[in-house]
């Protein structure tokens, strides 16, 4: 099969259907403790106004809302109305009156009163020019305000012990697929240089991952569901055939591998970095 390659950077390639929305919420449960640590490290506190760029179904906005409290404000922006409708329903169910969502691209978002903090998770890896994108985010940030970003380092294959052959095969399907779709697989470790090139002063950062200690844990489920959403692209690009992946049995096979080896798995590593906009506060 002919392998198609593209130099064009990726849009969000995994769709917005119901199953994908459920996957995003499951993924958010996995990443929540890591992202909360990044937001706390960045200094989010009660009373702050926060802009969440590429907010999706709202999970990062909800984490920020807990830190800024009812005296603060969180505005989530995203281009997709379908995911925002889900985010609004969830905010309403939680009675989060200080969180609101707006359908808008970052490029079209009017520059108004500057925010104390701008945050985003798993957004820069999809951008054609991450430095320019960060500079656009800075336009909404007050001098001295903080920008916090959280991205996957896809090129760093997840950790396993002992070696898990099926997991290695999964990663060998996912990584070239993401690369050929234009997703930036080194975005995590490129965050520091990206923020500095955009004109920010980098303050600190962390690297972390969730440990999958049982075969049916959320990190393992999330990995399988991510493979499912990427499967059409794997086939189209000639990376893997559906019969090779056998998605309907993949979870059971990975579970069996973990159990038979008594193994543990860290499916992915994330890098969080926070920086501030220079200038008088």
Between CA 110 and CA 118, with CA 116 as vertex, the angle to 5 degrees is: 65
Note whether 271 and 205 are within 8 A (CB): yes
189, pLDDT greater than 90 = yes
Predicted confidence (pLDDT) per residue in 214-249, tens digit: 666 778 888 899 999 999 999 999 999 999 999 999
Across 64-75, average pLDDT: 97
Which pLDDT score is estimated for 10? 41
End-to-end CA distance of the chain: 57
pLDDT (tens digit, 9 = 90+) per residue, 100-131?
999 999 999 989 889 999 999 999 999 999 99
Distance CA 43, CA 39 (A): 7
The predicted pLDDT at position 2 comes to 22
CB atoms within 10 A of CB 84: 21
Mean pLDDT, the chain, integer: 89
Residue spans per domain, the chain: 18-276
Rounded to whole angstroms, the Cα distance separating 35 from 270 reads 9
Distance of CA 77 to the CA centre of its chain: 15
pLDDT tier for residue 161 given thresholds of 50, 70 and 90: confident
- Tell me the whole-structure pTM to 2 decimals: 0.90
Structure tokens at 174: 């996912």
Q: What is the pLDDT of residue 156?
A: 86
The CATH code that applies to domain 18-276 is 3.40.50.150
Give CA separation, 206 vs 36, 158, 183, in Å.
Answer: 12, 16, 22
Quote the distance between the C-alpha of residue 256 and its chain's center.
28
Question: Does 281 score more than 80 pLDDT?
Answer: no
- DSSP code at position 21: H
Sorting pLDDT into bands at 50, 70 and 90, what band is 159? confident
Share of the chain above pLDDT 70, in %: 92
């Amino acid at each position: 099969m002919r392998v198609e390659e593209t130099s064009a950077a990726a849009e969000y390639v995994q769709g917005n259907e119901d199953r994908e929305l459920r996957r995003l919420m499951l993924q958010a449960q996995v990443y929540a403790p890591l992202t909360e640590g990044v937001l706390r490290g960045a200094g989010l506190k009660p009373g702050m106004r926060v802009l969440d760029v590429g907010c999706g179904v709202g999970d990062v906005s909800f984490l920020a809302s807990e830190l800024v409290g009812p005296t603060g404000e969180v505005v989530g922006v995203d281009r997709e109305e379908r995911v925002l409708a889900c985010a609004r329903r969830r905010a309403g169910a939680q009675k989060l009156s200080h969180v609101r969502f707006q359908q808008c691209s970052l490029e079209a978002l009017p520059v108004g009163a500057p925010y104390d903090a701008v945050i985003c998770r798993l957004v820069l890896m999809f951008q054609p020019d991450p430095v320019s994108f960060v500079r656009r985010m800075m336009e909404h940030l007050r001098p001295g305000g903080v920008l916090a970003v959280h991205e996957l380092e896809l090129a760093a294959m997840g950790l396993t012990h002992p070696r898990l052959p099926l997991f290695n095969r999964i990663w060998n399907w996912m990584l070239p697929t993401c690369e050929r779709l234009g997703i930036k697989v080194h975005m995590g470790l490129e965050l520091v240089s990206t923020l500095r090139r955009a004109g920010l002063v980098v303050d600190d950062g962390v690297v972390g991952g969730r440990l999958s200690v049982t075969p049916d844990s959320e990190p393992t489920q999330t990995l399988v569901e991510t493979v499912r959403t990427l499967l059409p692209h794997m086939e189209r690009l000639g990376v893997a055939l559906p019969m090779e992946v056998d998605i309907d049995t993949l979870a059971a096979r990975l579970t069996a591998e973990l159990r038979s080896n008594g193994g543990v798995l860290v499916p992915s590593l994330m890098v969080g970095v926070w920086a501030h906009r220079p200038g008088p506060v």
